[in-house]
Amino acid sequence: MSNWGGHLGYADDDLEDEEEEAGFDWKNVGRDGLIFLIDCSEQMFEKEDERSHFEMCIECAKSVISNKIISSEKDLVGVVFFGTDKDKNNASFKYIYVLQELDQPSASRILELENFLKDGNDDFANKFGFNGSFSLSDALWTCSNMFSQCPHKVGHKRVLLFTNNDHPHENNVPFQRQAKQKAKDLHDIGIEIELMHLTRTDAKFRFTEFYQDIVHTSEDEDCILPDPSEKFEQLLGRVRAKEHKKRTMGRIPFSLGKGLELGVGVYNLVRQQNKPYPVKLYRQTNEPLKSKSKMYCEDTGELLMPSDIKKYQTYGGRNIVFEKDEVDQVKKFDDAGLVLMGFKPHSALKKYFHVRPAHFLFPDETSIAGSSTLFNALLQRCAERNVVAVCRYIPRKNSPPKFVALVPQKEELDEHNTQVAPPGFHVIFLPFADDMRKLEFQQAPKANPDQIDKAKNVVKKLTFKFSPENFENPVLQTHFRNLEALALDRDAPDEITDHTAPNNEMIERRAGTLIREFRDAVYPEGYDPTAKPAARRKEGGGTIDVAQQAREGKLSKLTVAVLKEYCQKNGLNTGGKKADLVATIEGHLGV
C-alpha cells in the first residue's frame, strides 16, 4: 500500500507542475524525417558575398545536423542533390544524386558536408558534374522513396527545397505537369515541401511562375511566403524555423458556451535548456541499458503485481483503502478542456499574478472542423477590445482545475515577411487565494531625493534593449563544444564568448563617474566595495555547546556546519546528511 500523504485527490503540486512542463500525454508517432533537396545547377555556385548559394545550403544542412545531434539525435536526416551529371539513387533517375540516405545524424555526416566547404567549384564539377536536364518530379519521387523505404517509423516528413531558379522547366511543359502532380501526391501522403528560395543579383525570384503549384501550405501555416533569402543568416533562420517540428503538448476542446466548441492545441513557446541526461551503456557492447522496476513485498519478499498494490488514506486512526478506479474518480474534476467564464479588461491582469510560465493556444482543425475561423474571430475581437478571456483550464484528465487568462497576440512579420510572433493566445495562469500572501516589511532607512536621482542616472546610462536571444548559456555552450570537438576528432573546441559577463570597460566608459557619485552619496567615506565583509560575530559572543544541545534533544536545530565542526574536533565521521551527523554525535555522547 502507498499513502497519499494527506493530498486527497491530487498529486504533489511540484510533481504536477513538472509533468505539465514536460508535456501532456504525447503519443509516439515516430521520428521526424527531414530531407535537404539542394539544387546543384551551375548558377548555384556563383559567388555572392564571398560565398555561393550552394555553400550556404551546405552550411545550413551542417548546422541542422549538428543541432539535431544535441536536441533530437533519433530524428532522421538525408541530403539529395539534383542537377548533377552523375546519379545515385534506388530508382536510377538521371541527374539525381543521394549524398546521404535518410538516417540518424552523426559526426561522419558532418565531416562529409564540411569537405564541400573546403573544396572549390572545380572539384565539385569533377566529382559530380552539372546537368540542367533534370526532372524535379524525379527528385521529389526520390525523396518519397527515401521516406517509404526507411526502416524506421517516420512520423513528421518534410522536404526542404533549396534553389535560386524560379522556373527550372520553363521550356518543358511535360516536366512542369509531372513536377506539379508529384508535389500534390507528396502533399496527399503527408510529406510537406518547404521552399528555401534564394535571390540572385541579376534576377528576381518569381514565386508565382512555377513553385506556387509545388509548395502546398499546411493548415497550421501562414500562406504569406517570405522574401527570398539574401544572406546566410536569413536562410539559416528560416531553415531552423521550418525544420523544427511544432509538437503540441495536448489537443483539447475549448467551450465558448453550450453547444459551441472549437479545437485548440497547447504549446510551449519557451523552455529552459538543460544538459542532456547521461545515458548508461553496457560495457561490452556499448549499447544503451534499459532499466526495469519491480516491486516486492517488504514482509514476504514476494513479487507484487499491479493489482496487488493499493492506495490508502489515514483517517480517524484507520487506513481507508481505495481501488485504482476509485482513486481516479476522486481525482477527476471534469474532462480536459477550456471553458470560457467571461472577459476582463487587459489592465486587470497584474504582473504580480505570475504563478508559472505561460502556455500558448493555436487552433486545431484536426479535432473540430472550422476551429481556425472561430479562433481567429475570437482573437481579433479580443485584440480590438483590449480584453482577456478568463477560462477554467483542465490540461488533462485527473488534473486539478486552474483559472487562466487568455491574452491575445497578433501575428508579427519582419521586413522579409518572416514570422516573428505567431497569432494566438498566451495562457496566463491566475493565482488562487492561497497563492497570494501579504508581506510585512521592516522599517529601514530611506534614501533621500539626491541619492534617488543619482541612482536613476546610473540606471539610465546602463540601460539597453535586452533580448534573451542575444545571450547564450556559456556553461551549455562549453559542454556542447567539447562534445562536438570529441565527436569530430578536433584538437580543441571552438572558443566561445561569454556575453553574460559584465563589460567593465563599457560600464566605466558610460557611467564610471556617475557610479562614484552614487557611492559617495550613499556609503560612508572610505568605503571599499571590493573589500571582504567582516565576519559576523555569533549572538552573545560565545560558542554553541553541542553536548548540551544533544542532551536537550535540539541537535536537529543546529546547522550542518556546526555539526560537522564538532565531528571534526572529536575525530568523528563527517559524511552523510544532517540526520546522519545527528546520529553520529548522539552515539558518541551516548544520548
Task: Tell me how many degrees the CA angle 225-229-235 measures, rounded to the nearest 5.
Answer: 100
Q: Which three cell numbers stand for residue 307?
A: 493489482
Dmax of the chain from CA atoms? 99
- The SS3 of residue 289 is coil
Integer Cα distance of 400 and 217 in angstroms: 38
Alpha-carbon distance of 480 to 587, in angstroms, equals: 48
Nearest to 82 by CA among 123, 40, 142: 40
**CA R_g for the chain:** 32
Residue 578 region by backbone torsions, left for phi larger than 0, else alpha for psi between -120 and 50, else beta: alpha
The closest of 27, 41, 143, 20 to 89, measured between CA atoms, is 143
Positive or negative torsion for Cα 469, 470, 473, 479: positive
Class of residue 465 by CB neighbours under 10 A (exposed 0-12, middle 13-18, buried 19+): exposed
Specify the 3-state DSSP secondary structure of 416: coil
For the record, the C-alpha cell of 556 comes out as 536537529
In 3D space, the residue among 524, 513, 565, 522 whose CA is nearest the CA of residue 544 turns out to be 565
Catalytic residues: 27
Q: Sort residue 64 into left (φ over 0), alpha (ψ -120 to 50) or beta.
A: alpha
Question: Which 3 state secondary structure label does DSSP give 247?
Answer: coil
Cα–Cα distance measured from residue 479 to residue 274, given in angstroms and rounded to the nearest whole number: 11
The type of residue at 444 is A
Distance (Å, whole) CA 225 – CA 242: 13
Q: What is the distance between the alpha carbons of residues 572 and 79, in angstroms, rounded to a whole number? A: 64
Q: Return the sign of the alpha-carbon dihedral for residues 141, 143, 144, 149.
A: positive
